[in-house]
Structure 1
Amino acid sequence: MVLAPLVGVVVGGVAAAVVALAQLVRPDAELLAAVLGVLVVAGLSGGLHLDGLADFADALGSRRDPETMLRIMKQSDIGPFGVVAIVGVLLVDVAALTACVQAGFGWQAILIATVASRLTLPWSCRTTIPAARPDGLGTIVAATVRPITATFATALVLAATTALTWQPHQATQHQAVPHQTAQHQAVQHERVDYQVVRHDAAGATPPTHQHLNTPTSPRPTAATAPTHQHLNTPTSLHPTAATAPTHQDLTPTTWLELTDAAAPTRQDLSTPNWLHLSGGAGAVLLAVAISFLISRTATRKLGGTTGDVLGATVELALPVALLSIALTV
């Protein structure tokens, strides 16, 4: 069981390739890519883990003594608790992976979650957990992994996950261009308006003395007669302070420079995305926590672990890992 994470790399790698290919063919079909990725993971395991989840759920749902629970787990039929467990796990898997695909982190998420779910097997087979029955898969693999070995495997998976989720900040870099474009367009609009005003002022024909002293209509009244200021100071020649752009607006550096909030710095482009890192590391650590929780429950309810318990652990750790990633991408 020590090599179970490597099996997760193979299974998760195939599922990741399917998700990436589905996104490449149909970028707008996020749900389809998520469904295909989950089906590949379930299919490559032969459905054994889902079967173990159903048997374990039926056994716990019966609330019987350990001998009866073990007998229920060996039966080939599936009860209502098993159906609910399988449907609920698959729905969470698809929903969480869809969110990851929409965030552009689809194939990475299914790869990390698959490896993290298989990491539960070394912890579930550590030397402190006995087998629940004298026969079956649990007898073969129970109490075969030392805790130090499981810890070393967890450290390797955490290192690989960190390398996969180490993504520098890109949002600041992308947000700087629209800001620069909008500011550039606004100032350019002011420059055009000001040039139009100057063009009108330069091309307009000033009123002559004859025009001012020879009205074609009767003498205007006091309400309509232009004042001396109106005749000598055309409003089109002098833009007001509200409309005239300042010297700072017309300098070429104004629309070229970005504000401090939008300008990308060297630190922004090299600092890792700590939210992604926490989601990936959280997926691994939560999977290990699921292993401890189910192992303790199986030991208390059944007297130890079985093959169905191991399968249930893997299937429960997968949606938990995907949720951890989906909530942080």
Structure 2
Amino acid sequence: MADSWRLALSTLTRIPVRPPGTIDQSTAGRAMVLAPLTALPSAGGVALLVWLGQEGVLSPLALGLVAVGLLAWLSRLLHLDGLSDTVDGLTASTDRARSLEVMRSGTAGPAGVVALVVVIGLQAVSLAALTTHDLGPLLAAACVIASRSALAVACARGVPAARPDGLGATVSGTVHPLAAVAVFGATAALVWVTALLPGFDLAALLAPVLAALALAGVLVVAVRRLGGVTGDVLGACVEVTLVVLLVAVA
């Protein structure tokens, strides 16, 4: 378990930890299951920023952009980089090998840049809108935590790796499907409880459902076009899940 924590924290955050002593399938699987917990510092920071917006310390839109920047910094831009590379790869060619080559290059093309602008913009505007909600800080934090459960789902057994090396090959297929469902369900419940405390809200109730559908869509496209997941695809899964959650609750 200690190695799993170290792997999760060193991969998904900038928290300085010792490298894990052993990385096997069990270690990698537990690390992906623990992913939502590694987002607690990010969630706390975003919640604080939304609260500051409620207090009038920052303008809502500026606050939203700062919050997205904080999320990116605390994750070492890992997920946004994955989103950009994935979109570039999928739009560069219909050939699997060519798409994977483009994704590995690491440079941001026009499609990746547009994807980043759209996703960052939607996240920032949604976080700004949450400043008008009494429980906006808690909702924002719940969405950040829930978005990381996408990693457990994307690494469930049955979802192959697109290439034999890299982060995707290390963690793909390492999470038991029941564990993946449990993690996603638990974080979805967190969003539901937080959103429904003031009263019934259909949009918030649908938020995890819509996020699950979006996540499933990303995985289906990745498997069909790329042959499976890569580290970049995992990052795209997190960002797509987060943006759908935030837009729905906002």
Give the structure 1 partner of residue 155 of structure 2.
Answer: 125
How far off is 1:25 after superposition?
5.3
Select between 315-324 and 106-115 the one with higher mean Cα deviation. 106-115
Q: 2:236 aligns with which of 309, 312, 315?
A: 312
Q: Is 1:49 the equivalent of 2:49?
A: no
| Secondary structure at the counterpart of residue 174 of structure 2 | coil
Give the structure 2 partner of residue 9 of structure 1.
Answer: 40
Instruction: Write out aligned runs for 1:135-150 (5 A).
Output: 135-150=165-180
CA distance in 1, matches of 2:233, 2:184: 20
Identity of aligned residues (%): 37
Q: 1:291 aligns with which of 215, 226, 229?
A: 215
Gaps of 5+ in 1: 169-272
Aligned length: 219
How far off is 1:22 after superposition?
4.3
By relative contact order (CA 8 Å, sep 6+), the higher-ranking structure is 1
Gaps of 5+ in 2: 1-31
CA distance in 2, matches of 1:279, 1:8: 24
TM-score, normalisation: structure 1:
0.63
Q: Deviations over 1:90-109 (max 9, x none)?
A: 11111122222133443123
How far off is 1:318 after superposition?
1.4
| Secondary structure at the counterpart of residue 40 of structure 2 | helix
Give the structure 2 partner of residue 274 of structure 1.
Answer: 200
TM-score, normalisation: structure 2:
0.82
Give the structure 1 partner of residue 224 of structure 2.
Answer: 300
Give the structure 1 partner of residue 91 of structure 2.
Answer: 61
CA distance in 1, matches of 2:43, 2:132: 19
RMSD of aligned Cα (Å): 1.7
Q: Which has the higher helix share?
A: 2
* Inter-CA distance 163–109: structure 2 relative to 1 (3 Å threshold): closer
Structure whose alpha-carbon radius of gyration is higher: 1
CA distance in 2, matches of 1:115, 1:279: 19
Letter of the 2:158 partner, please give it: T
The answer to whether the 8 Å contact 2:37/2:145 transfers is yes
Letter of the 2:48 partner, please give it: A
